Structure 1
């Protein structure tokens, strides 16, 4: 909160104005397949070789590659009497190639196809106070997601996008509180299961269910980690808004509540409170505002994305404490982490 009165320099404002260009360079290099084309161990290629392989203009490819070098996505080596050769950085190998277990390519694609166009209508979202899915895609929210979930490829794309955030958050969420007293847990809308698998590694005695919609459960094997056989994680098909909730000691909500308005969040919290036995708890992972909502930056940016994309918003720890206590929970603890998601633990007594 101490930096809220700092004046930006003209250079810093310029960088914000033009920041979208770097974003589009990353989107383009990823979608064209630059990082995958350089994915082999020690793989180095010239701009001409990559242009031929990826069916692009040679000069334009060289410009793209040099831009990626300046943004630290690629390395560039110059050899006497030869063309420059390009290779992936260590970070690109880890996060930008499709074959990596920690790949963020799905997240890039999801943002390129959905978030970026939606944010182009942010001015309308602010004027109207409504999400911009109809204006951006010519469909209602229900129609958009129904179409996305209509085939396995669409579901895989969406789950892959959400899975791309796992390297940024799962360890911080799992380690925020001591959860060793809980024998069972249920991760609501747990997507690929990344958080559940990490929790099982940390608490091997805990039995964990991932409650997801049937189409997501169907593709869940695509995201299993190599050590899944040693982890106590099970996927269960269901809709937590509609179906009876499974019996468990701990309900987990990771990046769920920012999609919904307060009244819908309250209804779900009340449903969960009724399903828990005394001593049970909820664990909420979200990007949290400070209580004065002057920052941090990531929750503030996400709040505007939620305005354009959903019915929900980013909340502060204080707001979550109020919602949880109003639904019957007590001993509400808020932990700000070093990851992109902060954590709230609340109990039923």
Structure 2
């Protein structure tokens, strides 16, 4: 009897639940594409009213809206839908914390690469065409509106890291360059909290207009944060006391990581350092977060993967640095490792 109970308790529900999760993501992305949450900002409406306002077919719109209410993104009262608190904060276009740009990046760039996961597991090759041809970010940054939307979301997600790093003791240093620093969100936060520092960003030249727009919006840091355009695989890195690699190394293979750290050693002034922060979850028992991040790198980049603190210490030593793992409150899923360049 016990064996029968055990057998009956095993069913395909968990497997079907995974498939349903994929369909739920499609619902969210469709709602963002059609501006459902933006249309409901500050108002309530029936499904028929929303369908008319957004040009959707009534039957499908009703199912979508009811489904979004089950997901906690909408609330349904007396036949009318309103945004939930989380949707109102993060899914209304034009608001400071809008993450629709990142969701569109997933829809247009990252998710199609994930569709090739089975192939990537067999071949080891990225499924992102741009990564096969060269740098996966080259095509991403070709459209100004898409770039701003993506970077809005990235800045929202990396601001806690930037705030944590701004509280680090920078007193022994006078300058830093954020390598792959996009439009300068990290650099702005650090300089604002440490006004003795001269900060800079080094990234691909197409990002300079986005950097200037962002600095204009933030105000105050324009004179102390500079932009240097270039490709860190082909151009010399700017000289400074500190070079920062934040969420950069995991995008590339081991040989490229060592190559970047060696270039950094040449650019760091004597007595300076390289700062590297990443999840560094590539241990023996990685979390689901690390697994997903690693597989995302597999399909998106050429050789990218998560890695461990121990591995990074080895690469830093190979490049000439003296490695140290630092304790920084507020980094959450990230770890900071410092490579010191002795005088």
Under TM normalisation by the shorter chain, which class is it? 0.7 to 0.9
Alignment map for 1:263-274 (pairs within 5 Å)? 263-274=255-266
CA apart distance, 1:161:
5.3
**Alpha-carbon distance in structure 2 between the residues aligned to 1:14 and 1:174:** 45
RMSD over aligned CA atoms reads: 2.8
Supply the distance in 1 between the matched residues of 2:216 and 2:337 (Cα, whole angstroms): 26
The answer to whether the aligner puts 1:344 opposite 2:337 as a matched pair is yes
- Classify 1:240/1:147 alpha carbon distance in 2 versus 1 (closer, same or farther; 3 Å): closer
Aligned to 1:81: none
Structure 1: 5+ residue runs without aligned partners? 1-7, 79-83
Identify the residue that residue 205 of structure 2 maps to in structure 1. Answer: 214
**Does residue 96 in structure 1 map to residue 91 in structure 2?**
yes
- Indicate the residue corresponding to 1:86 in structure 2: 81
Structure 1 residue matching 2:170: 3-state secondary structure: coil
Q: Does 1:127 align with 2:118?
A: no
Q: Give the conservation status (yes or no) of the 8 Å contact 1:192–1:223.
A: yes
Tell me which of 174, 180, 183 is aligned to 2:171: 180
- Structure 2 match to 1:50: 50
Unaligned 5+ residue runs, structure 2? Answer: 1-9
What CA distance in whole angstroms lies between the structure 2 residues aligned with 1:314 and 1:33?
Answer: 35
Using the alignment, how far apart are the partners of 2:67 and 2:165 within structure 1?
A: 34
1-structure distance, mates of 2:252, 2:209? 25
In structure 2, what is the Cα distance between the partners aligned to 1:144 and 1:319? 25
Counterpart-to-counterpart distance in 1, 2:13 and 2:335: 31
Name the CA distance, whole Å, in 1 between partners of 2:203 and 2:325.
26
Change in Cα spacing, 1:257 to 1:230, as seen in structure 2 (3 Å) is: closer
In structure 1, what is the equivalent of residue 4 of structure 2? none
Q: 1:62 to 1:171 in 2, by over 3 A?
A: farther
Deviations 1:110-154 (A, max 9, x none): 1111111111110110001111124xx8x9433875444444345
- Aligned positions, number: 330
Structure 2 distance, partners of 1:75, 1:338, is 34
Report if aligned partners of 1:77, 1:85 keep a CA contact under 8 Å in 2.
Answer: yes
**Aligned pairs (5 A) from 1:277-292:** 277-289=269-281, 291-292=283-284
Name the structure 1 match of 2:38. 36
- Cα pair 1:189 1:211 within 8 Å, conserved: yes
Contact 1:190–1:211 (CA under 8 A) maintained in structure 2: yes
Distance in 1, matches of 2:309 and 2:12, equals 33
> What is the CA deviation profile of residues 292-312 of structure 1, one whole-angstrom value per residue up to 9, with x for unaligned ones?
2x1222121111011111111
Q: Is the 8 A contact 1:159 1:216 kept in 2?
A: no
Deviations 1:51-84 (A, max 9, x none): 1121111222222122222222222222xxxxx2
Corresponding residue number in structure 1 for 2:307:
315
Matched, 1:246 2:238: yes
| Equivalent-residue separation in structure 2 for 1:116 and 1:197 (angstroms) | 31
For 1:12 and 1:179, how far apart are their aligned partners in 2?
A: 49
Q: Which residue of structure 1 lines up, in the alignment, with residue 26 of structure 2?
A: 24
Shift of 1:251: 0.8
TM-score where L is the length of structure 2: 0.85
Shift of 1:338: 5.5
- Partner of 1:60: helix, strand, or coil? helix
Asked if 1 retains the 8 angstrom alpha-carbon contact of 2:159 and 2:185, the reply is no
Which of 234, 237, 258 is equivalent to 2:229? 237
- Structure 2: distance between partners of 1:171 and 1:145: 25
Shift of residue 246, structure 1, vs aligned partner: 2.0
Which has the higher mean CA deviation after the structures are superposed, 255-264 or 8-17?
Answer: 8-17
Q: SS in structure 1 opposite 2:43?
A: coil
Shift of 1:216: 0.4
